[in-house]
A and B are shown apart, each in its own frame.
Chain A
Amino acid sequence: MVPWYHSIITKLTVAFIILILVIAGLSVFYTFGATKTALKETTRDELVALASVVATQIDGDILASLQPGDEETPGFIKIRDQLYAMQSSNSEILYLYTMRQTSEGFVFVVDGEYGIINDAAGIGELYETPTDEMETGLTVSVAEKEYMTDQWGTVISGYAPVKNAAGVVTGIVGVDMSAERVIERQDFIGSIIYLIMLIGIGITAVIIGIISKTMIRDIRALNDSAEKISTGDTNVLVTVVRNDEIGELAGSFSRMVSSLKIMMMDEEP
């Protein structure tokens, strides 16, 4: 009896498992990477679309007129309520706000949650870490390429220009989506990919197991016959029937055994 570590079934199974793991690993690596990139691009497109839609709803003339201390004016309250209503209606949006560019940099004008949460920005509050995309947002709708971390958390943002009645840009609308939500989506898709791969590996392992088992069963049957003949027992029948190379081997072996029997019969007294 061959030790298990030298058995063909062990070698076949190990070889197939390594093959499956390599193929599955490479597939997961590629698919997950491509999905992550695609998901981020989709999120950026969503942010651009959202910012563009919100920007068309904001009155650029009122926005331009708002100065520090105007937080209680009807104009401010109107825009804030609009922003808050849109923010509340879309669970994907974390923050919605408007900004404008001054000589000091980008400053907040209307924060959609002003008066609702404590750390909402007031008019004229300087945004300390402006990005190139904010500048671009003054001319076209755009989204950040990477996540940004500031005092309000880690987000990915989209911007769109707000124009007044004359078509002049008076500020930008900013839409923030939580990085956690995007990462949650990536993790969900990643889990699905891993699950599919695991099911695939499981099914393949079962198929390999079945094929190996039938192969090894027939090889063992031939081996047993050869063992018997080698010890002088010619009362052997080769019953292995297959259409593959093992079947051919069994056929040749069967003819050899038959001829041996015929010759031994002739020698009998």
Chain B
Amino acid sequence: MSEISEKVLALTVQVLGPASRRFLERQTRFHLDGLEFDDLEKEHIPELSKWVGISARLIVDDKQAAMLAEMIKKV
């Protein structure tokens, strides 16, 4: 797992809990051209942040989703 992947996972767990990895794998696979989450790099962050902000709204409230997206953006 790349260093970036670890950082993003650690941040996401704080908001979405233990199933965060599944959530992030789905985001990278569907929205970052089939990328494996473990191969995440710095250049993928803006796009991932955008899709996390959108998808997380289905799970947590808008405020938390926006906060998580912002946290990922800063990685």
Interface of A toward B, CB cutoff 8 Å: 237-239, 254-263, 265-266
B61 touching A256 by the CB < 8 A rule? no
* B23 part of interface (Cβ distance < 8 Å): yes
CA distance A261 to B18 in the complex (A): 11
B61 touching A255 by the CB < 8 A rule? no
A263 touching B22 by the CB < 8 A rule? yes
Q: Closest CB of chain B to A187's CB: distance in Å? A: 60
Between-chain CB contacts (< 8 Å), 23 pairs: A239-B61, A254-B15, A254-B64, A255-B13, A255-B14, A255-B16, A255-B17, A258-B16, A258-B17, A258-B19, A258-B60, A259-B16, A259-B17, A259-B18, A259-B19, A259-B20, A261-B58, A262-B19, A262-B22, A262-B23, A262-B59, A263-B22, A265-B58
Secondary structure at the B interface, as helix, strand, loop or mixed, is helix
Q: A239: which B residues are within 8 A, CB to CB? A: 61
Q: Apart from A254-B64, A258-B17, what are 8 other A-B pairs with CB-CB below 8 Å?
A: A237-B61, A255-B15, A257-B17, A258-B15, A258-B19, A259-B18, A262-B59, A266-B26
Interface of B toward A, CB cutoff 8 Å: 13-20, 22-23, 26, 58-61, 64
CA distance A263 to B16 in the complex (A): 11
**Which of B26, B58, B59 has the most chain A CB atoms closer than 10 A to its own CB?**
B59
Q: Give 10 closest A-B pairs by Cβ, nearest first.
A: A255-B17, A259-B19, A259-B17, A262-B19, A258-B16, A262-B23, A237-B61, A261-B59, A258-B59, A259-B18
Tell me the total A-B contact number using a CB cutoff of 8 A: 41
Q: A265: which B residues are within 8 A, CB to CB? A: 58
A254 touching B20 by the CB < 8 A rule? no
Q: A238: which B residues are within 8 A, CB to CB? A: 60
User: Which residue from A254, A255, A256, A266 sits with its C-beta under 8 Å from B22?
Assistant: A266
Q: B58: which A residues are within 8 A, CB to CB? A: 261, 265
User: Which residue from B13, B14, B19, B60 sits with its C-beta under 8 Å from A263?
Assistant: B19
Nearest opposing residue in chain A for B56, CB measure = A258
Q: B14: which A residues are within 8 A, CB to CB? A: 255
Q: A258: which B residues are within 8 A, CB to CB? A: 15-17, 19, 59-60
Nearest opposing residue in chain B for A258, CB measure = B16
